[in-house]
């Protein structure tokens, strides 16, 4: 019967040291061989626990909370405060004054010329944008190259123009037979204030018959429209008298579609010393009135 062998304490310590050396060689071997192999060693992955063979002790790896905690950043180095007052001030750019000779050579603004005064007797012609008279109608207060005061009109032209405005209201023109109605000769005076004087009749030859009453009413109606105005003789700016001859004719033209007994058309052509004027109006029934106005020299 064999006797039991008691393990020696010295043998256990030797076995522990050998085991520890083998483990250390396994861990350090990749790092020692990396510079010579040209391959970067793979980071060591540690298990949750490291077990040692034999009578070794077991140590737990760090927990997840401790492993995931980031390292605190290193504090930035403190710098000394900068004194702003001690910094040098930036110098402003120097501006050199321009020489007097350069200033004198600069162009000077030109003054606008003042408008010339406009004569009071020709305001309508000098006003830009003024309404021009209609074709064939002289401007108010003018005849040829002779100027008149504003508002003064030539008598022969104004009388011809007023006939179509004043005459249609007389119902006799609708009832009279067509053809030549008659001739009336009148003489009108103009004073130094350009106002009309009394109405007179005159005869072209002795024994000339008196004009019809309808022509007398035509002249009276026309003068009603002219009495408030100011006029000058057709061929002069001086006071005097002017003779007019009015010859009237009636005719029947084509009636309007409705046949209304009202005035549907008016027109005129002003009389001058060298041109006989005409006045015209027409009713809707077709009855037409036409007067020829001639200016004769005064006495």
Q: pLDDT value at position 256?
A: 87
Dihedral of the CA atoms 168, 173, 178, 179 (nearest 10)?
-70
Query: pLDDT-based confidence at 164, cuts 50/70/90?
Result: very high
- pLDDT greater at residue 253 or residue 25: 253
Residue in 297, 180, 277, 291 with CA at minimum distance from that of residue 246: 291
Q: Is residue 277 within 8 Å of 269, Cβ to Cβ?
A: yes
Residue 284 or 137, more confident: 284
| Domain spans, the chain | 142-296
pLDDT of residue 85: 59
Tell me what the mean pLDDT of segment 174-191 comes to. 96
Distance separating alpha carbons of residues 131 and 108, to the nearest angstrom: 40
Bridge partners of residue 49, in order along the sequence: 60
Cα–Cα distance between 188 and 240 in angstroms, integer? Answer: 9
Q: Looking at residue 129, what is its pLDDT? A: 38
Q: What is the pLDDT of residues 195-211, one digit of tens each?
A: 999 999 999 899 899 99
Taking alpha carbons only, the member of 150, 164, 138 closest to residue 221 is 164
Give me the mean pLDDT over the 255-275 stretch: 90
Reply yes or no on whether the pLDDT at 43 is more than 80. no
Q: Which residues contact 139 (CB under 8 A, 6 or more apart)?
A: 124, 132, 133
* Model pLDDT, residue 147: 75
Q: What is the pLDDT of residue 154?
A: 96
pLDDT over 60 at 95, yes or no: no
CA dihedral (136, 141, 146, 147) positive or negative: negative
Rounded to an integer, the average pLDDT of 150-169 is 96
For residues 203, 205, 208, 214, the Cα torsion angle rounded to the nearest 10 degrees is -30
Which of the two residues, 282 and 16, has the higher pLDDT score?
Answer: 282
pLDDT, greater one: 87 or 236: 236
Total residues belonging to the chain: 299
Residue 66 has pLDDT above 60, yes or no: no
- Quote the pLDDT of residue 222: 97
pLDDT value for 18: 75
- pLDDT for residue 133: 38
More confident residue, 259 or 207: 207
pTM of full prediction above 0.75? no
Average pLDDT of span 138-161: 76
More confident of the two residues 8 and 16: 16
The predicted structure's pLDDT at residue 156: 96
Segments in the chain forming alpha helices (H): 9-37, 64-68, 100-104, 123-126, 155-166, 172-175, 213-226
258 — pLDDT class (breaks 50, 70, 90):
confident
> Rounded mean pLDDT of the chain?
74
Rounded-to-integer distance, Cα 184 and Cα 212, Å: 8
Least confident among 18-22, 54-58, 275-279: 54-58
């Amino acid at each position: 019967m064999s006797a039991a062998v008691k393990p020696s304490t010295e043998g256990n310590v030797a076995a522990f040291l050998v085991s520890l050396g083998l483990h250390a060689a396994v861990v350090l071997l990749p790092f020692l061989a990396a510079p010579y192999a040209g391959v970067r060693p793979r980071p060591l992955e540690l298990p949750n626990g490291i077990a040692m063979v034999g009578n070794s002790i077991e140590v737990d790896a760090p927990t997840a909370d401790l492993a995931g905690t980031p390292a605190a950043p290193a504090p930035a180095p403190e710098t000394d405060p900068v004194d702003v007052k001690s910094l040098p001030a930036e110098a402003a750019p120097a501006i050199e004054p321009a020489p007097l000779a350069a200033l004198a050579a600069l162009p000077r603004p030109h003054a606008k010329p003042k408008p010339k005064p406009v004569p009071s007797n020709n305001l309508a012609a000098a006003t830009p944008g003024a309404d021009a008279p209609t074709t064939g109608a002289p401007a108010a207060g003018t005849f040829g190259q002779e100027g008149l005061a504003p508002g003064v009109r030539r008598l022969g032209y104004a009388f011809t123009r007023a006939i179509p405005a004043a005459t249609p209201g007389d119902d006799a023109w609708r009832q009279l037979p067509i053809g030549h109605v008659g001739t009336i000769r009148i003489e009108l005076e103009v004073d130094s204030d350009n106002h009309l004087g009394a109405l007179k009749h005159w005869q072209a030859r002795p024994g000339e018959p008196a004009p019809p009453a309808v022509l007398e009413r035509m002249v009276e109606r026309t003068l009603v429209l002219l009495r408030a105005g100011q006029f000058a003789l057709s061929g002069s700016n001086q006071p005097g008298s002017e003779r007019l001859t009015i010859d009237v004719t009636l005719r029947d033209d084509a009636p309007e579609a409705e046949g209304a007994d009202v005035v549907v058309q008016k027109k005129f052509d002003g009389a001058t010393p060298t041109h006989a004027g005409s006045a015209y109006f027409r009713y809707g029934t077709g009855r037409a009135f036409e007067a020829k106005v001639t200016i004769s020299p005064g006495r």
